[in-house]
Chains A and B, each alone.
Chain A
Amino acid sequence: MKPPRPDSEIEQVLEEWLETTADPMPDTLRDAIDETPSRHAQLGRRSWRDLLRSPTRLAAFAAVAGLAIIAVYVGSGVLGNLRNAVGGPISPEPSSAAEFVWDGMLNFVGSNPAPDGYGHTAVWRYLSGPAGIHDPTQYRPLTNHGGEGDGTWSDPTIAGLAIGVPPSSESRLQIQPADGTAAVIAWRNPIAETALTIIGSVEVDGSCGDGITLLIDHAGDPFRTITLARGREDFTIPVERFAGGGVLHFIIEPGANSRCDTTWLELTIHAPATRDVGE
C-alpha cells in the first residue's frame, strides 16, 4: 500500500496543471475589454444581453410581455402611454416590450429615499425595523451611507445592519440584518394601479449561522415568506392588482442571531405599461 502523498506534492502537481492548462484571453475578449469604457458609457450599468441571459429575467420578460399584450387589448388609452422600460439611472435602454422594470440593484444610487430610472422620486427606501413585527409604522430610515461601489446604508445605532451594493455583490443587493432587527427595503408603486410580477432570488451565506427569513409584505400582509438556512431560492410572485402609491416591503429577518446572515437579494418588479400618475 502506497503512503499518502504529502500536501506539497499535491500542491506542486496542482500548480503545474493550473499553469499549463491556462489559456490566454481570446482575441474577441481582448477587443471587448479594449472597448469597455465606451461600451459602459453606451450601455449604462447592465447590458440587455445580460438581462435576457438569466432564466428568471427571461421568465419575467415573457410574463410581462403577456401582461402588456392583455393591457393593450383591454385598451382604455394604454397605447398612448407605452414607454421604453428597461434601464437604470444612467442611460435607460429602449425595450421592445411595453413594460416597466424596477431593479433593486440598478436603482440603488446612494440616496435614501432613491428614485427609479423613470424620473419618479422616493420609490425605494432602505429601512430597519424590529424583527418579528411587520409594522411599517415602526420602520426607520437608515441614515449613514458609505463604502466602495455604490455604497452601503447603515444606522450608527444598530451594529452590523447594512443594505448596499458593494463591488463584490455584482448584480445583487447585499443585506445584513442585526440581532433582533430586520433590514427592510421598501418599494413604492409610482404609477397607477397595475398588475405586478415580483421576480428575484435570495441567497444566504452558507458557511455558518442559522439562516434568515425573507418576507415580501404589503401592509403587514406577506405575499411570500422564504426561510433559508443556507443556499438560494428563486421566486416569482404575480400580483393581480397593486394600488398606485402602495408600498411593498422586502424584509430580511435574522434567525436566533444575525451571525453569518449576509444575504444577497436579486430583485426586479415588473409591470405592463400603463398610465403614469407621476409624482
Chain B
Amino acid sequence: MDRELVVQAQAGDEAAFAALAARIGDRMYATAQHILHDSGRAEDAVQQAMINIWRNLPRLSDPDRFRGWAYRIVVRAAYAEARHRRLWMIQSQSAGARSYAPDHASGVADRDQLERGFRRLPVDQRSVLVLKHFSGLSNAEIADALEIPEGTVRSRLHHGIRSLRAALDADGREPELEAS
C-alpha cells in the first residue's frame, strides 16, 4: 500500500483518498461479497466502510497499518449488514418465506460442492477463511481485524476447512452409495 497516499488522504486530500479507494475497492468489495453472499449488501457494506475509513483516517496513528485497519472496518460493516439481513430473514421466515433450498444433485464439480459447503458456514468462519485465503491477511492481522485472539482465528480456520472437507467428501460419496 502506498504510504504516501495514506498520509495525503489523512491530511484531507480527496484525490489521494480516491486513488486509495480505487486500489483497495475491488478487493474490499469482493471480500464483503464473499462474507455476505449478497451483492447489494456488499455494496452497502463497502459504501459504509469507505465513509468510516474517510472519517477515521486522520486518527490512524500508523499509516503502515492502513491495510489491516481498512479490512477491519470493511469486515465490521459486513457483519453489521449480516445482522440486518438475519433480522429480516427471521421476519420473512416467520411469514412463511424461505430463501434457500439445498441442491442434492450428485456428480457436480468440487467448486459447486465447495460453494454449497461455504454457504452453510457461519459468518464467523466464512470471514476468517475469506480474510486468510482471499484477502491474504496473516493470522495476526485477522485477529486484529476481527478483534479476537489468534487462537480463535486458528480454531475457526480449522473448523471451517473441516466443514468444507465434509461438504466435499459427503457429496463425493453419494455416487458410491447409490452404486452399492
List A residues at the B interface (Cβ < 8 Å): 2, 4-5, 7, 10-11, 13-26, 28-30, 32-34, 36-40, 45, 50, 53-55, 148-149, 167-171, 207, 232, 234, 262
Contacts and interface: CB of A to CB of B under 8 A. Distances in A.
Contacts of B17: 36-37
Interface string B65-88: 000010011001101100110011
Contact of B29 (A4, A25, A171): A25
Contacts, number: 132
Contacts of B33: 22-23
B39 A23 contact: yes
Given A26-B39, A53-B44, A170-B48, 19 more contacts: A2-B172, A4-B165, A10-B161, A10-B164, A13-B168, A17-B114, A17-B118, A18-B30, A22-B26, A22-B33, A23-B39, A25-B29, A29-B29, A34-B18, A36-B51, A148-B60, A167-B59, A167-B76, A170-B80
Nearest to A45: B55
B52 interface: yes
B12 to A, nearest CB: 8
Contact of A25 (B14, B46, B168): B46
B138 interface: no
B169 A36 contact: no
Contacts of A2: 169, 172-173
B interface, over-half SS: helix
Contacts of B48: 50, 170
B61 A207 contact: no
A38 B55 CA distance: 11
B76 A15 contact: no
A7 B34 CA distance: 20
6 contacts: A4-B165, A17-B111, A23-B29, A30-B25, A36-B17, A37-B14
Interface residues of B, number: 58
Name the residue in A5, A20, A28 with the highest tally of chain B Cβ atoms < 10 Å from its Cβ.
A5
A168 B73 contact: yes
Given A23-B39, A25-B26, A53 B84 contact: yes
